[in-house]
Amino acid sequence: MRQVSIIAVAIATLAGCKKKEPAAPPPPPPPAVDAAPITVDAAPVAVDAGDPEAAARQGKRTGLGAADEVPEVVVEALIAAIAEGKVPAARFVDPAEGYLEHIIMPGAMEKADPDVIKRHCGAKAATRFTDDAKTLMREQAEGKKDPAYVDHELICSNEFLATADPTFGARPDPAGGDAPVGGTPWKYALCRSGGAGEYDANYELLFAPDATRGVRVVGMLTWEGGMNPDAVWPDFAKDALKVGACKK
């Protein structure tokens, strides 16, 4: 009987020593997710270093935003908006200075057509500016009709709006020197519409910086193709430099 007990204990001991099956390994963790935000390059678009006009305009107000937006540069779209009546011309007219009209178109006839030299004051200043803006846009549209040759394309330059032109209004040296003489340093922007050739009109719309308006329109010089611009610009510049001409 004791022998049976010993055998039973031995069997139980062997059973207890039997190795257990290993547990199943845990499932692998889910793949890691990159929660970092995606970075966006917010740097401004690079401006062609070879185009100073594009650099001068970048990020500047044009007067085409809110109704009271003060422009920092003059752009072609502003002239178009004035011509279309979307922007009132009076916003850019200083009542004390008015609006200059210089037309030098002698023509090809034996008797030259007389020059037109006027300064428009009061409501006439804005009216004349609007009419000239319409002329510029009409001439540009006409020029685009010929795909082989485009003339009267309106191009505005702000080169001297921040830095004065040291030779504004200068005349050719009467002594025959290469450098012009008599210039007055002055800041301005200029929108030009060039003609196709001789006897065609060249239009030059002049603006000046203005503390209240951003820019103010000075007036437009119209001169005949084939003429020397140095012969017509000094007198226009002289009138442009006059201060308070409409107050008198």
CB 151 within 8 A of CB 115: no
State mean pLDDT over 37-46: 39
pLDDT-derived band at 248 (thresholds 50, 70, 90) equals low
- Tokens found for residue 171: 């005349």
pLDDT-derived band at 25 (thresholds 50, 70, 90) equals low
State mean pLDDT over 28-35: 48
State mean pLDDT over 90-99: 97
Residue 13 pLDDT: 42
| pLDDT over 60 (residue 40) | no
What are the tens digits of pLDDT across the range 174-226?
888 888 888 999 999 999 999 988 899 999 999 999 999 999 999 999 999 99
| pLDDT over 70 (residue 118) | yes
pTM: 0.79
Residue scoring higher pLDDT (137 or 32): 137
| pLDDT over 90 (residue 110) | no
What are the tens digits of pLDDT across the range 225-242?
999 888 899 999 999 999
pLDDT-derived band at 162 (thresholds 50, 70, 90) equals very high
